Amino acid sequence: MVPRTPPEVGGMGHSVKRKEDARFIRGKGTYVDDIQLPGMLYLDIVRSPLAHARITKIDTSKALAIPGVLAVITGADLAKYNLHWMPTLMSDTQMVLPVEKVMYQAQEVAAVLATDRYIAADGVDAVEVAYEPLPVVVDPIKALAPDAPVLRTDKTDKKDNHIWHWEWGDRAATDRAFAEADVTVRQDIYLPRIHVASIETCGCVAHFDRVADKLTVWMTTQAPHAIRTVFALVAGHVGLAEHKIRIISPDIGGGFGGKVPVYPGYVIAVAASVLTGKPVKWVEDRMENLQADSFARDYHMTCELAARKDGTLTALRIKTIADHGYADAAANPSKFPAGLFHICTGSYDFQAAHVEVDGVYTNKPPGGIAYRCSFRVTEAVHAIERMTDLMAHHLGMDPAEFRLKNFIRPEQFPYRSALGWEYDSGNYAAALRKAMDRIGYAELRREQAEKRQRGELMGIGISSFTEIVGAGPSKHFDILGLKMFDSAEIRVHPTGKVIARFGTRSQGQGHETTYAQIIAEELGIPVADIQVEEGDTDTAPYGLGTYASRSTPVAGAAGAMAARKIRDKARKIAAYLLEAAEDDLVWEPGRFSVAGAPHRFKTIQDIAFAAYTNHPQGMEAGLEAVSYYDPPNLTYPFGSYICVVDIDKGTGQVKVRRFVAVDDCGNIINPMIVEGQIHGGLTMGLAPALYEEIAYDENGNIQGGSFIDYLLPTAVETPRWETDKTTTPSPHHPLGAKGVGESATVGAPAAIANAVVDALWHLGVRHVDIPITPAKVWKLLREKGVSE
């Protein structure tokens, strides 16, 4: 796309350098832990060593004897205010602090309030808790067995560990298609528990001002407005009303979905501040973050595909057990407990499909949230892209050819999928062909054949994913009843400078820059003259926040719509100033001129000044607008990734030699930022594919609960990503944009897994679950008799 504005204006299509960088490169960002208030107290949390146990005694005397320890808060204390349980975003319930029993290892048991973080830690060490162990349920499949101990004994009507059943699609038609199929393949695929592990952990500073009767919370949250509403709902009965709560989300050191939920620590800190009237800081450490905060995935899928002999895909069927831990604390739209998992027909034209998901309780931390990829879309993409590969190999077809044959064709858009989604636009073959050219696909296949002769292991993997983002149309999408619109408020000041406020919250995506570019595009006002603010519920308009790649599709659109309202008014003012009819005015970025008389014009700055000094009679003064954008549909970014791996026969190590990513996210606001998002997303695709997992032993002990064993890739493990793009605008989005923050995380793991299986297929290997560790590959190789 050729930019319509000059570089000084910096509208869409310009790689404008980021405004936010100025403070970050000087160490002048303000993250939650940087906030220090006079008289501030520190909160630290006692956690359970056991995964399932009755609490028989909490002895706080030693802790309270430490000078500087002010209080030890327990579940019993919170129960007095009925604050010991809270609702999750999925309308389940979750403990703030337990009164009776703990449900997972590292669960909050009590909280120590002290004058200093060192003393608080000493206090935590000194609290003595006695437990009576209870039987631990770790495996969600065993959790469904009739004799499994029932975990949620707090729910008097609950007789098992089953949370919900959800299914979608035409079961009968799908069964029929499978019965009639020439070929079917079936595979169990497990997507393990993983954790977003943003480098900044979660925390807050809660300050209840008794005089003003107002609670201010600086908090690591991606969704400040929704959080405020939740707080008002949870604590309304103790006097916290929504207008007396101010949530400020300052600079956020990465979110990726992990900063959407309300964690008990926040609530305890708020309670402690309300009770003491003092500011209270709680910042979790990394181990608490990994062990207790919401996880992603933990999906046990059984996938099946049906096809004709000629390689035409016909039907898909997936059954899933979703392990949610002891509470369903996912952040899915209310109507969709399994998120948008039914995007799992992917980029292919199926006749029939049917999916079933069952949510299950286990003795693990609650969650089921995002990992830079929300609403179970990675799960869906991994399933379909692994299965497509499996079918191609099974039929002896090249996986690229097989995909090209089965793609939804460009002329089929808007396309209604077998599971009911209406895809907005796409050109899947173009993206795949571009990726194949870029990487030299045919040459790589030749090299692979030669290497195989020599006994060397090399694999090529493809993933041609379709994403679904921008939730969502209010008809179908809400969280706790809050519709998933988002908002923008723009004020153009008399000198033509702008303040714009949004309901979202950037965690590194560069909103201060990209939102300014959207406004620059629509109004022709230079980016330098536009200040974007987000994250303060006292000033910003209501919005559901930043996750699921929804900021550009939803809040960005709101920004464009608000700017257009301003432009409409500006047109009226210009007509008045130029003494011309509105219809005779021509807009080009930054000015209205009279048709046929280009020397007669008014700049947007002239018009802004006039809006306050010389506006037409009968018109309200000022130049501002608010927009609450309710998207008519979701957007469907897509792409094709190709990856080459080399496998060390001796050690089982997988090395990603090359990785080409061709993305299509529609029109692009800032190419530099989009590329950065893709690099980051790819790295968060690589990570679970090869390194990261949070596992539990049979007693519910966490493995991988610190950075010692939860392995974030460094610059050495991460390949030099090669990116490219195609551009298929969204027809329904005001800017034609689709959103890109998550595509790469969604698409990359399958490309890597497919490459590994491709390298090993001739040995008889059909599937490997991620993370594909050297130990796993070594085992497969030795089982197949391959060694060095």
Partner 1 sequence: MMRVQLTVNGERHEVEVEPRLLLVHLLRDVLRLTGTHIGCDTTHCGACTVLLEDRPVKSCTVFAVQANGKRLMTVEGLERNGTLHPIQEGFVQEHGLQCGYCTPGMMMTSYAFLKRTPNPSEDEIRHAISGNLCRCTGYVNIVKAVQYAAARLQEGGA
Partner 2 sequence: MIPAAFEYHAPASLADAVKLLGQHGDEAKILSGGQSLIPLMKLRLATPRHVVDINGIAGLDYLKEEDGVLRIGALVREADLEDSEFIRARYPLLHDTSRVVADPLVRNLATVCGNLAHADPANDHPAAMLALGAEVVATGPRGERRIAITSFFTGPFATALRGDEVLTEVRVPVPLPRSGGAYLKLERKVGDFATAAVAVQVALDPAGTCVHAGVGLTNAGTVPIKARRAEGFLRGKPLDDATVRRAGELAAEEADPVDDVRGSAAYKRDLVRVLTARALRLAAGRAGAGR
Q: Where in the sequence numbering do the catalytic residues fall?
A: 222, 372-373, 742
CB-based contacts of 445, cutoff 8 Å, min separation 6:
398, 460
Question: Do 143 and 698 contact (CB within 8 A), yes or no?
Answer: no
Interatomic CA distance for residues 527 and 670, integer angstroms: 12
29 binds, among ligand FES, partner 2, partner 1, none (CB under 5 to 8 A by kind): partner 1
- Distance from C-alpha of 640 to C-alpha of 403, rounded to nearest angstrom: 10
Q: What CA–CA distance (Å, rounded) separates 758 from 460? A: 6
Instruction: Provide the minimum distance between the beta carbon of 20 and ligand FES in the complex, in angstroms, as a whole number.
Output: 11
Which amino acid type is present at position 529? D
- For 702-713, the DSSP string reads EES-STTTS---
Q: At what angle do helices 671-690 and 743-760 cross, to 10 degrees?
A: 40
Q: With contacts defined by CB under 8 A, name the span among 152-160, 195-203, 294-302, 326-334 that binds partner 1.
A: 195-203
Rounded Cα distance, 240 and 231, in Å: 8
Is 20 an interacting residue with respect to partner 1 (CB under 8 A)?
yes
- Least Å distance, CB 342 to partner 1, is 29
Determine if 509 is a binding residue for partner 1 (CB under 8 A): yes
| Cα–chain center distance at 145 | 32
Of 495 and 706, which CB lies nearer to ligand FES in the complex structure? 706
Q: How far is CA 228 from CA 33, 86, 88, 242, 327, in A?
A: 20, 14, 14, 7, 22
Task: Please give the DSSP secondary-structure letter assigned to residue 590.
Answer: T
Rounded Cα distance, 178 and 616, in Å: 69
**Least separation, in Å, of the C-beta of 254 and ligand FES?**
5
What Cα–Cα distance (Å) separates residue 572 from each residue in 396, 496, 562, 579? 66, 17, 16, 10
In this complex, which beta carbon is closest to partner 2, that of residue 558 or of residue 702? 702
CB distance 750 to 742 below 8 Å: no
Examine residue 717 and tell whether it contacts partner 2 (CB under 8 A).
Answer: yes
Angle (CA) 531 534 535, round 5° = 150
State which residue, 81 or 707, has the beta carbon closest to partner 2: 707
Q: Among the candidate windows 246-254, 343-351, 599-607, 758-766, which touches partner 1 by CB under 8 A?
A: 246-254
Of 255-263, 423-431, 639-647, 648-656, the window that binds partner 2 (rule: CB under 8 A) is 648-656
Of residues 660-699, those binding partner 2 (CB under 8 A): 691
Q: Which does 155 bind (CB under 5 to 8 A by kind): partner 2, partner 1, ligand FES, none?
A: none
Query: Which listed residue (158, 171, 244, 286) binds partner 1 by CB under 8 A?
Result: 286
Contact partner, 703, from partner 1, partner 2, ligand FES, none, Cβ < 5-8 Å per class: partner 2
Listed ranges 580-588, 693-701, 708-716, 771-779: which one lies at the site for partner 1 (CB under 8 A)? 708-716
Q: Work out how close the CB of 236 gets to partner 1 at its nearest, in angstroms, rounded to a whole number.
A: 33
b/e burial code for range 215-237 (CB count within 10 A of at least 16 → b): bbbbbbbbbbbbbbbbbbebbee
Helix (H) or strand (E) holding 382: helix 377-395
Residue 2: contacted member of partner 1, ligand FES, partner 2, none (CB under 5 to 8 Å, by partner type): none
Give me the residues paired with residue 654 across strands: 647
Nearest approach, Cβ of 508 to ligand FES (angstroms)?
5
Beta pairing partners, 463:
641
How far apart are CB 674 and partner 1 at their closest, in Å?
10
The smaller minimum CB distance to partner 1, of residues 117 and 776, is found at 117
- Report the residue number, 117 or 405, with the smaller CB distance to partner 1: 117
Look-up: residue for tokens 């309030």? Answer: 113
Query: Is position 507 an interface residue for partner 1 (rule: CB under 8 A)?
Result: yes
The pattern of x and - marking residues 411 through 430 that bind partner 2 according to CB under 8 A reads: --------------------
The reply on whether position 716 binds partner 1 by CB under 8 A is yes
Q: How many residues does the chain have?
A: 788
The token duo for 542 is: 């209501």
Supply the angle between the helices 428-439 and 399-406 in degrees, to the nearest 10.
160
Cβ distance 327 to 345 under 8 Å? no
Q: Is 784 in the site for partner 2 (CB under 8 A)?
A: no
Q: Residue 189 Cβ, how far from partner 2 at the closest point, in Å? A: 23
- Give the integer Cα–Cα distance in Å for 42 and 57: 24
Q: How far apart are CA 411 and CA 425, in angstroms?
A: 9
Segment contacting partner 1 by CB under 8 A, of 242-250, 423-431, 572-580, 706-714: 706-714
Cis previous bond, 414, omega within 30? yes
Q: Choose the stretch contacting partner 1; rule: CB under 8 A; options: 167-175, 281-289, 316-324, 563-571.
A: 281-289
Nearer CB in complex with partner 1: 209/722: 722
Indicate the DSSP class of residue 435. Answer: H
- Does residue 26 interact with partner 1 by CB under 8 A? yes
> In the numeric block, which tokens belong to residue 403?
């995909």
Question: Using the rule CB under 8 A, which residue among 36, 156, 453, 617 binds partner 1?
Answer: 36
Q: In this structure, are residues 223 and 486 in contact, taking their beta carbons and an 8 Å threshold?
A: no
- Residue 20: name its binding partner from partner 2, partner 1, ligand FES, none (Cβ under 5 to 8 Å by kind): partner 1
Binding site for ligand FES (CB under 6 A): 199, 254, 508
When binding is defined by CB under 8 A, the residue of 77, 122, 304, 358 that contacts partner 2 is 122
Tokens read off for 90: 């999925």
Q: Number of residues in contact with partner 2, rule: CB under 8 A? A: 30
Beta carbon nearer to partner 2, 35 or 121: 121
CA distance 748 to 685: 5
Residue ranges in 745-774 that form contacts with partner 2 under rule CB under 8 A: 773-774
Stretch that binds partner 1, among 57-65, 252-260, 688-696, 754-762 (CB under 8 A): 252-260
Are the C-beta atoms of residues 110 and 45 closer than 8 Å to each other?
yes
Minimum CB distance to partner 2, residue 773 (Å): 7
Residues interacting with partner 1, by CB under 8 A? 17-18, 20-31, 33-34, 36, 117-118, 196-201, 251-256, 285-287, 507-510, 672-673, 675-684, 706-708, 712, 714-716, 718, 720-721
Residues interacting with partner 2, by CB under 8 A? 117-118, 121-122, 125, 285-287, 650-653, 691, 703-704, 709, 711-714, 716-717, 773-775, 778-779, 782, 787-788
